[in-house]
Structures are given as structure tokens and as C-alpha cells.
């Protein structure tokens, strides 16, 4: 596995963890925080997939 694939896997894991924490949070502020954080990690994963595709195509 390449370094980019490792990072992609890490971002996907962090996304899932943040979503789980948000579902379990009883405080609405924390729920909102972790939902936003999961969206940021999801976008990083999308960007990483694009970087991998670009590198593979080159």
C-alpha cells in the first residue's frame, strides 16, 4: 500500500469515528462539531482519491 492509500484509509477511518461519536453525543454542540469534522475528513478522503487517480493515470 502506498503512502497515499494509507492516508486515504486513515481519513476514511476518522470519518467513520467522527460519525459514530456524533451519533452517540448527547450534547448538541458536540454532535454538530463531530458532524462537521466528519465532513472535513470525508472531503479529505475525496481529495486523496483524486490524487491517487491522478498519480495512477500519470
pTM for the whole structure: 0.89
* Residue 24, helix vs strand vs coil: helix
C-alpha cell of residue 55: 498519480
Cα–Cα distance, 17 to 11 (Å, whole number): 10
Residues 6+ apart with CB under 8 A from 3: none
What does pLDDT average to over the chain?
Answer: 95
Domain boundaries along the sequence of the chain: 3-57
pLDDT tens digits for range 3-30: 999 999 999 999 999 999 999 999 999 9
Amino acid at each position: 500500500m502506498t503512502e497515499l492509500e494509507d492516508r486515504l484509509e486513515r481519513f476514511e477511518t476518522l470519518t467513520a469515528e467522527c460519525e459514530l461519536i456524533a451519533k452517540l453525543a448527547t450534547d448538541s454542540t458536540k454532535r454538530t462539531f463531530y458532524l462537521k469534522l466528519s465532513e472535513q475528513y470525508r472531503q479529505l478522503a475525496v481529495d486523496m482519491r483524486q490524487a491517487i487517480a491522478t498519480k495512477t493515470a500519470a
